[in-house]
Amino acid sequence: MATAADSRNDAASSPAVRGRVRLQTLVFIRWVALAGQTAAILFVHLGLGYPMPFVLALAAVAASVALNIFLTLRYPPTTRLSDAQAALYLAYDTVQLAVLLFLTGGVQNPFAILVLVPVTISASILSLRATVSLVVLAIAALSLIANYHLPLPWDVPGFALPPLYVSGMWIALALGAVFVTIYAWRVAAESRRMSDALAETQMALAREQRLSALGTLAAAAAHELGTPLGTITVVAKELSRELPATGHIADDVRLLIAETQRCRDILAQLSRRPEGEPDPHLHRLPAPALLDTIAAPHRRRDGVVVVVETAPGRGLDGTMPPVLPHAPEIAHGLGNLVENAVDFARSRVTITVAWTMAELTIAVADDGPGFAQNILGVLGEPYISSRAQSGDGMGLGVFIAKTLLERTGAQVSFANRPEGGAQVAVTWPRSALDEAALSPA
């Protein structure tokens, strides 16, 4: 599966994913259809006593029964069909149904509407090419049985519907096949896109959680290993003083001391934090301090200044800013927004922390080209990846950031600033932050 947003978008719009549907699922659906066909044939011929080619109709059903039995015995239940195989399977169902309709009145048969079932299934699980092929096959079959068919089973010999009505039935079924397919395919494609995007969100969150756990583990390891390494150093120095200054044993002891010191230096680097960075073990931080931590990796880029400003509401000057949990969702979501702003900024990114008694708002603004007006209303949806004067970025990353932040109770909005540049505002109700700050980490 492609990792770039554009390739993921192409995959979503052309969902020809191998192994999307199990053979057993289609076999089960066919069993249900065959049960209905058999019941209808028996009821019409034996129950109502209408004349019809009873043996030929049962032979068409029996052929599908034999095929189902063969597929069940030949392939294991977990077998998954490729796009072409599933399309061929559904094409057979369309042809088999057309044969039954040919024997029982063509499109005059009320059950002719069932020709929509295979194309609807195809639109839900197969590629656009396979679905279009099945629609063409279904319309061709409808056209054939509309003109060539055996009489409709009826209690009045020679009964036939008016040609104009039959033509209307054909048009209705053909248009129904087209419109139902378009609707089902669009809905299924959107569902697949959202499912893929949510899967990427889960993966991003899992990566953030693993990185956080890895940092904690490194700090704990450095702390725990520091004591035994100190003991080894002390003992090695004692041995060095008691041994002669020359000789291979003395050289080995000096090497042991040097390597021990090297290990202690490595552990010190693992536990050392950049200047001004808060302790990663602090799970709750004032909002400006947390934003400084998130923005720190992006301040190393040449030519772009990243500034964190505070703006308490009226009557709140001098009050402490709200506390945010150092959660992976918040760290990754805000970090993604800051990274995007730095990517598009010309010289400056401003992160503003504003709060009132009711809410906290973090706004990430840049002095770049801003958002394209044609996508401003749909930003935050997956695979929206165009921004003014740029052909990349602001696609799946923004969707992931928005989804993760909304999980924490925030609302995310996008806008262009009057003075130029883009702004993303993230707003939390203070009640949601208070609950998060009091909850255990």
* pLDDT surpassing 60 at residue 439: no
Domains of the chain, residue spans: 5-203, 217-271, 284-438
- At 355, is the pLDDT very low, low, confident or very high (cuts 50, 70, 90)? confident
Query: 274 vs 301, which has greater pLDDT?
Result: 301
pLDDT of residue 313: 67
Q: Which two three-digit tokens encode residue 288?
A: 């400006």
Q: Which of 376, 369, 380, 300 is nearest to 337 (CA)?
A: 380
* pLDDT surpassing 80 at residue 410: yes
pLDDT of residue 8: 38
Mean local confidence (pLDDT), 202-225: 61
Contact yes or no for 91/67 (Cβ under 8 A): no
Percentage of the chain modeled with pLDDT above 70: 76
pLDDT of residue 277: 44
The label of the residue with tokens 């209808």 reads 40
* pLDDT surpassing 60 at residue 308: yes
pLDDT of residue 210: 61
Least confident segment among 10-14, 20-24, 37-41: 10-14
Mean local confidence (pLDDT), 189-200: 66
Q: Which two three-digit tokens encode residue 397?
A: 């990353």
Q: How far is CA 280 from the centre of its chain?
A: 30
C-alpha angle with apex 116: 63 to 174, nearest 5 degrees? 115
Strands 359-366 and 348-355: antiparallel
pLDDT of residue 4: 37
* pLDDT surpassing 80 at residue 381: no
Mean local confidence (pLDDT), 67-82: 88
Contact yes or no for 94/64 (Cβ under 8 A): no
CA–CA distance, 89 with 29 (Å, rounded to integer)? 12
Residue 64 amino acid letter: S
Say what the pTM is: 0.53
Percentage of the chain modeled with pLDDT above 90: 25
Contact yes or no for 197/382 (Cβ under 8 A): yes
Query: 56 vs 407, which has greater pLDDT?
Result: 56
CA–CA distance, 15 with 17 (Å, rounded to integer)? 5
* pLDDT surpassing 50 at residue 257: yes
- At 270, is the pLDDT very low, low, confident or very high (cuts 50, 70, 90)? low
pLDDT of residue 136: 94
* pLDDT surpassing 90 at residue 430: no
Mean local confidence (pLDDT), 191-220: 62
Least confident segment among 137-151, 195-209, 292-306: 195-209
Architecture of the 284-438 domain: 2-Layer Sandwich (3.30)
Contacts of 318 by beta carbon, 8 Å cutoff, 6+ apart: 312
- At 404, is the pLDDT very low, low, confident or very high (cuts 50, 70, 90)? confident
